[in-house]
Amino acid sequence: MELATARLLLRDLLPTDRAAVRALADDADVMRYIDWAPHSPDDPDGFLAAAAAAAAAAAPRTRYALAAADRPGGAFVGYVELAVTSAEHRRAEIGYALARPHWGRGYATEAAAALLGYAFTALGLRKVTATCDPANAASRRILEAVGMQREGYLRDHCLLHGEWRDRLLYAALAPTPDPAP
């Protein structure tokens, strides 16, 4: 899958992304608030294999594990994901992690907006959620910038680096609501 934005190409992860994925996992600042599981970037081969399996899975696809690459050069900027969490209820979750040299340039906002657009238009989803650590002010700003609203506070929601951490729950609804049944 490929999804182009003004400055990014969101594409399926490739085996050639191994070193870049590993670099994300090795950067403590990048991983400070991230709880990737069961395949984490600190196991890049397992992470990439799981992403490839999701891309090759029978339709309808439910996981889009994507590299964010700059245009036109193609350099790896980060990782983004759209995961359909309930096909029946037409819900998905998004997430992202950018390499530190690319922080503060609006890439995460651009990628998150593209994922939301794809979820609502191409996939016909009704609701997209995201979570972030309450201390992650940058992620809160990104989610709010793409029109997501805070819906809740999830206490002890994930085990991160051996410590239970809270999460803020954000969500966006499709711009055109479904008619009532």
Sequence-separated (6 or more) residues with CB below 8 Å from residue 86:
none
Retrieve residue 48's tokens. Answer: 């990439």
CA neighbor of 44 nearest in space, from 52, 54, 33: 52
pTM over 0.85: yes
What integer is the mean pLDDT of 28-35? 88
DSSP single-letter state for residue 59? S
What pLDDT shows up at residue 135?
Answer: 97
What integer is the mean pLDDT of 41-66? 79
Instruction: In whole angstroms, give the CA distance from residue 90 to residue 126.
Output: 5
Asked if the structure places residue 39 within a domain, the reply is yes
Asked if the structure places residue 179 within a domain, the reply is no
Sequence-separated (6 or more) residues with CB below 8 Å from residue 160:
33, 34, 35, 133
Instruction: In whole angstroms, give the CA distance from residue 122 to residue 116.
Output: 10
Measured CA to CA in angstroms, residue 105 lies from 22, 29, 38, 153 at distances of: 22, 17, 30, 28
Asked if the structure places residue 181 within a domain, the reply is no
Query: Buried (b) or exposed (e) across 119-133, using 16+ Cβ within 10 A?
Result: bbeebebbbbbbbbb
The overall average pLDDT reported for the chain is: 91
What percent of the chain shows pLDDT beyond 90?
A: 69
What percent of the chain shows pLDDT beyond 70?
A: 92
Q: Domain containing 107 — which CATH number?
A: 3.40.630.30
The count of structural domains within the chain is: 1
Which residues span the domain enclosing 17? 2-173
